[in-house]
Amino acid sequence: MILNSIAKVLVAINSGRRPAEIAAGMACGLLLGFLPASSLLWPSLLVLTLFLKVNLGAELLAIALFKLVAPLLDGLFHSLGLAVLSSPALHGLFTALYNMPVVPFTRFNNTLVMGGFLSGLVLWVPSFLLFRMLVRLYRARWRDRLAESRLVKSFQRLPIVSTIIRFGRRLLSLYQHVR
């Protein structure tokens, strides 16, 4: 699955796909990567992103990457979540949310869930802008040079890499045919 996501991202970055779609996928992946998957909030946001114009391969790759980083930030998420959840000004709101039928299953009252969610929300726009800039920069400056380098050409000759490249090209042709 991770190889499939990497192939989709490579195809998307090197094709004519809009940088904003790739960046939105990465930013959504950051948000989902920071959230613990054990709450109803995680699958709800994942399903929501399926209806948005984001690159799914970039999103899945970012989820995998940021799920690796999230445990290192648990202390920060806990502190932020604790500060928000223990705020006297928000006590009435959280009580009302907790008394709603489905909302408690989001585990919003967990400090890691609240801290990860707020961190992902705060970082969504900056990460979107950063990833969009990086895709544009890659396409303008590095794509052609990298494609012609000896290292990349020898890497492409590896059996697993050539299989991923063929799979990516098939996906791209199918996607362009459907559109």
Residue 58 lies in a domain: yes
Percentage of the chain surpassing pLDDT 70?
A: 84
CB-based contact 9:61 (threshold 8 Å): yes
Going by C-alpha positions, the residue among 81, 78, 67, 72 that lies closest to residue 32 is 67
Residue 82 lies in a domain: yes
Statement: residue 103 has pLDDT above 70 = yes
Statement: residue 71 has pLDDT above 90 = yes
* Phi-psi sector, 132: left (phi>0), alpha (psi -120 to 50), beta: alpha
Q: What is the pLDDT of residue 44?
A: 93
Q: What is the pLDDT of residue 166?
A: 77
Statement: residue 179 has pLDDT above 60 = no
Residue 84 lies in a domain: yes
Residue 79 lies in a domain: yes
Q: How far is CA 109 from CA 87, 93, 97, in A?
A: 12, 11, 10
Tokens 């930013």 appear where?
27
At 174, the amino acid letter reads L
Residue 170 lies in a domain: no
Q: How far is CA 44 from CA 8, 47, 99, 127, 154, in A?
A: 23, 5, 19, 21, 42
Residue 158 lies in a domain: no
How many folded domains does the chain comprise?
1
Residue 103 lies in a domain: yes
CB-based contact 142:14 (threshold 8 Å): no
Residues 128-165: pLDDT tens digits?
Answer: 999 999 999 988 887 777 667 777 677 667 777 778 77
Count of residues making up the chain: 179
Averaged confidence pLDDT in the chain: 86
Among 27-41, 63-77, 144-158, name the one with the lowest average pLDDT: 144-158
The whole-model pTM stands at: 0.78
d(C-alpha 125, C-alpha 37), whole Å: 22
Statement: residue 10 has pLDDT above 80 = no
Q: Which domain holds residue 79?
A: 2-143
CB-based contact 53:66 (threshold 8 Å): no
Residues 35-47: pLDDT tens digits?
Answer: 998 889 999 999 9
Among 4-18, 49-63, 75-89, 96-110, name the one with the lowest average pLDDT: 4-18
Residue 167 lies in a domain: no
